[in-house]
Amino acid sequence: MTAPLLTAAAVDAAARVFADVLPPTPLHRSDRLSAATGAEVWLKREDLQPVRSYKLRGAFNFIAGLSDEERAKGVVAASAGNHAQGVAFAGQRLGVGARIYLPRNTPRQKRDRVAALGGDLVEVIVTGEVYDDAATAAAQDAAHTGAVVVPAFDALDTMAGQGTVANEIVAQLGRVPDLVTVPVGGGGLLGGMATWLAAHASTTRLVGVEPEGAASMAAALAAGRPVDLEEVSPFVDGAAVRRVGDLTHAAVAATGTHLTSVSEGALCVEMLAMYQADGIIAEPAGALATTVLPDLRIEPGSTVVAVVSGGNNDVSRYAEIVEKALIHEGRKHYFLVTFPQEPGALRRFLDEVLGPDDDIAYFEYVKRSNRETGPALVGLELGHPDDLVPLLARMEASPLVIERVDPTSPLFRFIG
């Protein structure tokens, strides 16, 4: 059976539903990215929504369309955090009770925000490892209680609400952009925007950006239907979806939208740049659309819009983000160093192996039982990526036994 397609008219109707509740989010010019690309780069700041994510649009439009009988039974939802906040906000505004299921990889900051936004009308339930586990629990709840499931992406009303980002962009620019980049998880935002742009801005090039560890839409397009990914990296929690929806896949496939992906390391570099240079706190999914810009063919002087989809980042994650960024840039490396158990061994390592701008960022003995030698795991932060070659040469010349921990090694997952 062919999945029904979203229409641009449904997206326009959704915009009217919450016109008096959700004012358009700002469209800010990025001086940093404009200089880097030679284009006029604008950021659609969905991180400045009341719930700091575009997900509010779809949740509000869906719940607003329920009948009085459906509202009385309440709603249930599954989410990695942002959709949950949208459901909580919409339920509170519309007077509809909700039970919201969150996977365990949802940051604490998002959990707390869901509870605060929903107040007495929302119950938060944490279950499962990834979004799909939470979605299963929500579906079971609905089957037993008669509550209505508010899909995070795979419903026409949800997609229509999320797609309103596109008509706002064109209205705010006053013209059709040349390129729009959009983050992709389950595909609701991309499917909604692609549908509207295909009807009203057919010359606009649209690029969907997935995390490398959760490229479920690309897998669906390659297979001709939604498929389950064998593994999903939870790092980009707002886009860590094992299987995209039937409706979202149909919308993306029908519009011929191009997809690409970015690595976690590149994403972390961009998150730090957004924070330090632009003053924007973006969650990992929120930085997908800007991370990809250096990899795209962009005409100088063209108009580019990147959707900053969310800003619900837990501050406790920044240590991990900095670590991944340093490794991606080639400035942080790990080594197993076998030190002789004798005075001055560590001093010789510092004097003979380390360069003037190299710093020990991590040091831990991994085995202490041998009286002759003491293996240690050593993390080095370099002043510049080019310092690695002379460092390796000094290690080769050293009498110490030194083994580099390759980033592709399973061991690296425990330290990187």
Q: What is the DSSP string of 365-390?
A: ES----SSEEEEEEEEE-SSGGGHHH
d(CA 276, CA 86) in angstroms, rounded, equals 28
In the residue annotation, 55 being an active-site residue is answered as yes
List the one residue out of 176, 188, 196, 174 whose CA is nearest residue 217.
188
Phi, psi of 37 (to 5 degrees): -105, -20
Helices (H) and strands (E) in the chain, counts: 16, 14
Q: What is the pLDDT of residue 370?
A: 58
Statement to judge: residues 168 and 307 lie in one domain = yes
Statement to judge: residues 297 and 337 lie in one domain = no
Statement to judge: residues 81 and 223 lie in one domain = no
- Residue finishing a domain among 116, 146, 176: 146
d(CA 256, CA 128) in angstroms, rounded, equals 34
Statement to judge: residues 131 and 44 lie in one domain = no
Statement to judge: residues 340 and 215 lie in one domain = no
Statement to judge: residues 48 and 141 lie in one domain = no
Residue 309 lies in a domain: yes
Q: Which parts of 28-130 fold into alpha helices (H)?
A: 31-37, 55-64, 68-73, 82-94, 108-118
Which amino acid appears at position 358 of this protein?
D
Sequence-separated (6 or more) residues with CB below 8 Å from residue 110 = 80, 81, 82, 84, 85, 102, 312, 314
Statement to judge: residues 310 and 379 lie in one domain = no
d(CA 291, CA 271) in angstroms, rounded, equals 8
Statement to judge: residues 192 and 285 lie in one domain = yes
Is pTM beyond 0.85 here?
A: yes
Q: What is the pLDDT of residue 313?
A: 86
**The domain spanning residue 260 has which CATH number?**
3.40.50.1100
- Residue finishing a domain among 93, 114, 146: 146
Tens digit of pLDDT at every position of the chain (416 positions): 677 899 999 999 999 999 999 999 999 999 999 999 999 999 999 999 999 999 999 999 999 999 999 999 999 998 877 899 999 999 999 999 999 999 887 778 778 888 899 999 999 999 988 777 888 999 999 999 999 999 999 999 999 999 999 999 999 999 999 999 999 999 999 999 999 999 999 999 999 999 999 999 999 999 999 999 999 998 998 898 899 999 999 999 999 999 999 999 999 999 999 999 999 999 999 999 999 999 999 999 999 999 999 998 888 888 999 999 999 999 999 999 998 878 888 888 999 999 999 999 999 887 655 566 778 899 999 999 999 999 999 999 999 999 999 877 776 666 65
C-alpha separations of 31 from 38, 41, 274 in Å: 10, 8, 11
Statement to judge: residues 231 and 274 lie in one domain = yes
Statement to judge: residues 132 and 204 lie in one domain = no
Annotated catalytic residue within 44, 309, 324, 332 = 309
- Residue finishing a domain among 95, 116, 146: 146
Residue 375 lies in a domain: yes
Statement to judge: residues 31 and 160 lie in one domain = yes
- Helix H, strand E, coil C: the string for 325-360 is HHHHCCCEEEEEEEEECCCCHHHHHHHHCCCCCCEE
Q: What is the pLDDT of residue 416?
A: 53
Q: Taking a C-beta distance cutoff of 8 angstroms, is the pair 7, 250 a contact?
A: no
In the residue annotation, 309 being an active-site residue is answered as yes
The distance from CA 205 to its chain's CA centroid, rounded to whole angstroms, is: 21
Residue 70 lies in a domain: no
Annotated catalytic residue within 44, 55, 110, 332 = 55
Query: Residue written as tokens 């003037």?
Result: 356
Query: First CA to last CA across the chain, in angstroms?
Result: 45
Statement to judge: residues 317 and 223 lie in one domain = yes
Other Cβ atoms closer than 10 A to 9: 12
Phi, psi of 245 (to 5 degrees): -85, 160
Q: Taking a C-beta distance cutoff of 8 angstroms, is the pair 316, 287 a contact?
A: no
Residue 100 lies in a domain: yes
Structural domain for 248, as ranges: 8-54+155-321
